Amino acid sequence: MDDERPALVPVGTYYTATPSSPAGVSAVHFDDYQELIYVGHAQGHTRTFVMPACEPYTAHQAFYSPILGWMSDSSLNRGAIAVSAEGVKLVGRRGMPIWTLTAKNDFKSANLFAMARAPQSAAAHEMLVSASFARLCVVNYERGAILRDLAADEMQEVHVMCGAGAHTVVAGAANGALKVFDARTWRPTVSLAVQPGPFSAVVAASEHLILTTGAHSARNVVDVIDLRTQALLGSIPVPAALLTALPGSDARAVAIGEAGVASVLDAATLSVTDTVTLFDPEAVVPIGESDDDDDGDPVLPMPPSYSCVHASSSGDLVAIGDWEGNVHFWSRAATTPSVDTDSGILDWTPEDAPRVNAVSEPTVVPSMVTPTDPVHWDPKVALNEFGMPRYTAPLLSGTWPEHIMHSVGLPPVVIAPSIMTNARGTDALKSAPKPASLQRNQWPYKTKPEVPRFKSARRNRSRSRGRSAGEGKSILDDYKQMEIQYSRFGVQDFDFRFFNPTPYAGLETAVPQSYVNNYLQALFYARGFAQCAIQHSVSPTCTKELCLLCETGYLFRMLQQAQGQEIVCRAANWCSTFGHVRETTVMNLRENPAVPFPSIGGTMAQCARFLFDQFKRDADSVAVVEEFRARLLTRSECAGCHTRKEKVVDAFTVDLAYPGARINHPDTTFVDLLRASMVTTESSRVWCSKCRQYKATTQDRAPIRLPNVLHVNCNVRTDWNSDWWCTKDNHFTGVQGSHFMPLRVKIWLDDEQALQIEQAADDASGDDIYALAAVVFEVSEGRPHIASHVEVEENQWYMFNDFLVRHIPENQVLQFPRWKTPTILHYRRMVPQAPSADGVMYTQAGPLTVSSDPDMPLDPIITPTELVSILEGVHVINPTRCVATMDPLRAGEVVHPGFLCAIDAEFVSLQEEEAEYTSDGVKRVTRPARLSLARVSVVRGSGARAGSVCIDDYIEQRDPVVDYVTAYSGIEPSDLDHDVSTRHLVPLKAAYRRLRCMADAGAVFVGHSLEQDFRIINLVVSPDQVVDTVKLYHLPSQPRKLSLKFLAWAALGLHVQVGNHDSVEDARTALALYNKYLEMKAVGSWDDFLLEIYDLGHRNAFRPPPAPAHSYSSGVIGGGSTEFVPVGGTPMIPLGMAGGGATVYAAAPPLANIPGATMAAVAAAAVAPLHFPPPQPPSSLSGQHVAAALPIQPPQMQQQRATPVPQLQPQPVPAPVQPQQPRAPNFAAVVAGRAMPSSNRWA
């Protein structure tokens, strides 16, 4: 509140209750967009009034219990959200409900208490709702869907909440504790003990100051908490039952006491600036009563019992509700309104009326029904000339006698045609064999098919889910196998965010061998192993083409980079390498859709053992899997000659051994099984070299060194094995914990190196404590598949089911219904031990420091020498036949953050698209075409050599190519054949590693539709390093995105992609479009330019006109021709080489159109300047929009010229403006003291 403005002055009182709902006011709230106020009553009735005259607007029966609070739908501007003990409802401004979530059916709770959202987290459309039994639920208020539950821990029940700061929600519990949540991840950040009892109000006076009061606990103070220091700043000695912040003021709020006194508080100075008496008993005499009692003393009325308070966003109005049904309005305006004596409506002058908002939208007024004139009727007028009057008598159709009425029930179930085909018998009775797909004497369990969720239908889906959020949905639906559905817009239209509201990335399923996805997620959160895998992937010393460890490092790097970007990763490269390793075929680990695995859980356990061995072979060292390595001492003794032998072996997995059926061993615990499985004694017949025959030999195994991560194979093969884990229930119970698997165990070696194991408390900690970190399990419901539970952070569990990622409570981790069978367990040592001497991983920078801290970054360490080897020493498959790049990439260019380059990729098809057609001809894609990277081209984007090609790699294919898509990719079969190809043919791993290092070094990529290219390449790049022209040249109000071919014609006046596609041409075109964007932005005409492009597109169906017969694309942008090149119908000729070797074109004079004219004659007659811009765009564009000159470098130009061209001195080409400030390279470290080489490779 400003100092010069007066204190609160009374405006008036309005009775808001109705005869149908004569109840007190329980909640008030001003609208954030219109001049409205929402009023909620104790009987669940809601009303809306138009300010400042407080005229009735709408009424709606939202619930049948008191409205506890309101919250504006600020991000979508649809109305206000009301919460009561019965549920949460979004009510539109016209009174119509948009969606409803009930406490009983949706929240599975008895009562709801409060709700809140962060002020600046509207983009996520998420809010927090507190429920009984100490539950906190995250709700998406765009579609009215419950996303997940948050564990309330020791907070007990949360009764009050508020939003504070940019991304903060503060919750007050019944025990007087405040808990602060980060609205971006909904993780608690701090917990403060403020008062001994419950809160009555918690409000945010500013971004960092929180005011709390607990009037019911007899503490007549208002506490002020500073979120920056996370401590109690002080207290203001004022009694307060209600609190509300004053928007537009500096950390001020209004506190209302039970005695009817309002105090204006300054939270920054811990003082009271103003005090206002809301109720003066001496000035009010009840109507109809005398002002004296029987004794002659005046009768003073009691002050009303105030129930709620709220201040408008402008700070001009404060509304106070009471339990008698009144709303009292107070204002900081200097004048008060007049009151209409007949209607009681407040009458303000327009200049003095207080505003709810500083700027408000107009309120839609309902149209008035015009009464019709009465119709005169007499027997001569036909009845069809006017409508029939309303009737009260029952209709004849509803008076049928009961003896002729009966219920027919539901129609019979249609029997499948496949059953009726084999039916035999008479017409009255037939019998058929029971199909194997049906259960005997049981009705088949069918689930409602999931509705496809596409971005293009998001608005319709939001409305439909708002009406039936949570209806018919069970927890089991999240555990079933996920399948990507495809619309006519492809996989890019699939809304992965609907299945993953968390900041952690999931993995796509539509690739072979993707059954390993969720186990790889568990390995990724074993931070020590993940760090070693990522470091190995950037090591140039690994030259294996099929290195599964390198691909694992690339995948982990993708998962790390994708966190918080709301994208899903694709493990196609990893799965391809896994499928080509010879051992996977021998061990039957390759996925075959026609022949499923006998047991997906057993296959996953066998695959885990194979991966550890393969990782050790790929690295030629055990250090990379040191995180899982246990050292075992094996002793063997021959029963014949009693010869004893000892040796130390490495083990990465503990296979659980079961003593028998669970019913025969009721007292055996998980700790007993684990101890018996780690210390074993076996007897078998083996060859004895001393006895020279097979003899019975006893073998004892015992650990002498424990791993940091204990990898337990649950070894569930039969039904009686699963009885140790699974219950007979089909769902999770509400009881926390498990009847068998503990959350933490204590494992150590005593002084005699004997293994000791015991179960530990759930909150135990120490060097010998192993905490459950991951559970990989098989889901048998539907199609059997693998899923996993991973503890991403302490006490924060998430379920990974391919691209579905959910935050889950702990009981879902520890419990195993009949359809969930454990496969692999990870127990992580809480205090990791140092690696052994042979378990240290070395890099060129020295030994790698491995940490299991989940917050430690996984950035690899790359030395300058390694960077040179990766970027410049690419292995070429056909070095004797390939044509080398004229100006290849140098490592010195990339090490500087912000290196601008244009990129484009071409792909070939490894598997054709599978689709089905409905009876009405609608195509439905069941499996899209599987594409593989075939060519990647990178063009420099700035500097003296802007426009020159620095990378042009063709990729050798591992799998057979079914379609080269030559018309769209420009790839010929001979280009990828290593026996005849003259292209720069490289392995996929070499090309990928170079792009990965460029992205980590901070290079900025310019291209068209890069999201799809990076997805197929399996590359995740930070958003601030991507300039996508398909997004630059897109109007948010238009659903269509423009093609590169159309943009080149409309914005640059160029005809591209006339013949086969060329990735170099496309990259240069995207760079030219980006330069054009910067040019239009600089002169301030970008918005008009983009509107003109769309207008031109609508008139031409977003297709460029046919190119002239003499125009071809390779000479315009792609290079490669020395003839004169017409662009958009205007002939162009190369006149000279600019700085950096770029060719400069000029417009050809009319002589160029004369048949037989030589190149020299045309060049001599040229009159245009050297840096002639491309021709003017079509006439629909304004004349000022001229395309910028684009540096071009046709390869081998000097060698191909037949006639010398006059050497002219071109002007320097200006470098384009960088898109943002350069950011530091994304490497963890560079070795200090090692200078860059001085050779020209680092120019």
The stretches of 629-718 forming alpha helices (DSSP H) are 670-678
- The C-alpha atoms of residue 210 and residue 178 are separated, in whole angstroms, by 10
- The C-alpha atoms of residue 615 and residue 65 are separated, in whole angstroms, by 62
Phi, psi of 1076 (to 5 degrees): -65, -40
pTM: 0.58
DSSP H or E stretch at residue 127: strand 126-131
Give the CA distances from residue 1102 to residues 296, 1045, 1050, in Å, rounded to whole numbers and listed in that order: 90, 10, 9
- Residues 1016 and 961 sit within 8 Å (Cβ to Cβ): no
- The C-alpha atoms of residue 1056 and residue 1046 are separated, in whole angstroms, by 9
Phi, psi of 404 (to 5 degrees): -110, 10
Burial of 800 (0-12, 13-18, 19+ CB in 10 A): buried
Phi, psi of 292 (to 5 degrees): -135, 145
Q: Which of 601, 606, 607 is nearest to 717 (CA)?
A: 601
Q: Find out whether the peptide bond into 659 is cis, omega within 30 degrees of 0.
A: no
The letter for the amino acid at 757 is I
DSSP H or E stretch at residue 498: helix 496-499
DSSP 268-337: TTTEEEEEEES--GGG---TTS-SB-TTS-B-PPPPP-EEEEEE-TTSSEEEEEETTSEEEEEESSS---
- The C-alpha atoms of residue 381 and residue 566 are separated, in whole angstroms, by 70
CB atoms closer than 10 angstroms to residue 664: 9
- Find the helix packing angle between 1086-1099 and 1044-1052, rounded to 10°: 120
Alpha carbon of residue 181 to chain centroid: 19
CB atoms closer than 10 angstroms to residue 918: 8
- Residues 117 and 71 sit within 8 Å (Cβ to Cβ): yes
- The C-alpha atoms of residue 870 and residue 998 are separated, in whole angstroms, by 10
CB atoms closer than 10 angstroms to residue 192: 18
**Is residue 339 helix, strand or coil?**
strand
- Exposure string of 436-472, with b = 16+ CB inside 10 Å and e = fewer, is eeeeeeeeeeeeeeeeebbbeeeeebbeebbeebbee
- The C-alpha atoms of residue 700 and residue 697 are separated, in whole angstroms, by 10
- The C-alpha atoms of residue 279 and residue 671 are separated, in whole angstroms, by 70
DSSP 1005-1055: EEESSHHHHHHHHT----GGGEEEHHHHT--TT-S----HHHHHHHHH---
Pairing of strands 949-955, 985-986: parallel
Q: Return the beta strands (E) in 802-894 as ranges.
A: 804-808, 820-829, 842-843, 846-847
- The C-alpha atoms of residue 684 and residue 686 are separated, in whole angstroms, by 6
- Residues 648 and 601 sit within 8 Å (Cβ to Cβ): no
**Is residue 844 helix, strand or coil?**
coil
DSSP 394-447: PPGGG---GGG-----SPPPPPPHHHHHT-EE-SS-EE-PPPTTSPTTSPPP-P
CB atoms closer than 10 angstroms to residue 736: 13
Phi, psi of 482 (to 5 degrees): -85, 140
Q: Which of 1230, 1231, 1228, 1236 is nearest to 535 (CA)?
A: 1228
Contacts of 1122 (CB under 8 A, 6+ apart): 1134, 1159, 1194, 1197, 1200, 1201
Burial of 23 (0-12, 13-18, 19+ CB in 10 A): buried
* pLDDT averaged per 10 residues in sequence order, the chain, 1243 residues: 59 79 86 91 90 86 91 83 93 87 89 85 77 88 87 70 86 87 86 85 89 71 89 88 85 86 88 83 44 50 82 89 89 63 58 81 79 72 65 68 68 77 84 76 54 58 41 71 79 80 90 91 91 89 89 92 86 91 89 82 93 91 88 90 89 91 88 92 86 88 92 90 83 70 92 90 88 94 91 91 91 88 93 76 60 64 82 84 81 83 94 80 80 93 88 92 89 89 91 91 92 91 92 88 92 86 91 94 92 91 80 37 34 38 39 34 32 35 34 33 34 42 43 33 28
- The C-alpha atoms of residue 3 and residue 1 are separated, in whole angstroms, by 6
- The C-alpha atoms of residue 133 and residue 1122 are separated, in whole angstroms, by 78
CB atoms closer than 10 angstroms to residue 372: 8
- Residues 1033 and 1047 sit within 8 Å (Cβ to Cβ): yes
Q: How many CA atoms are closer than 13 Å to the CA of 246, on its beta-carbon side?
A: 25
Give the CA distances from residue 482 to residues 506, 594, 787, 930, 988, in Å, rounded to whole numbers and listed in that order: 11, 19, 10, 18, 29
Burial of 115 (0-12, 13-18, 19+ CB in 10 A): buried
- Residues 449 and 483 sit within 8 Å (Cβ to Cβ): no
**Is residue 524 helix, strand or coil?**
helix
Radius of gyration of the chain (CA): 37
Burial of 682 (0-12, 13-18, 19+ CB in 10 A): exposed
- The C-alpha atoms of residue 642 and residue 636 are separated, in whole angstroms, by 9
Q: Which of 61, 78, 133 is nearest to 103 (CA)?
A: 133
Question: In the beta sheet, which residues pair with residue 858?
Answer: none
- The C-alpha atoms of residue 17 and residue 99 are separated, in whole angstroms, by 25
- The C-alpha atoms of residue 780 and residue 476 are separated, in whole angstroms, by 11
Three-point CA angle 51, 54, 55, nearest 5°: 105
Pairing of strands 317-322, 914-917: unpaired
Say how many residues make up the chain: 1243
- The C-alpha atoms of residue 13 and residue 546 are separated, in whole angstroms, by 79
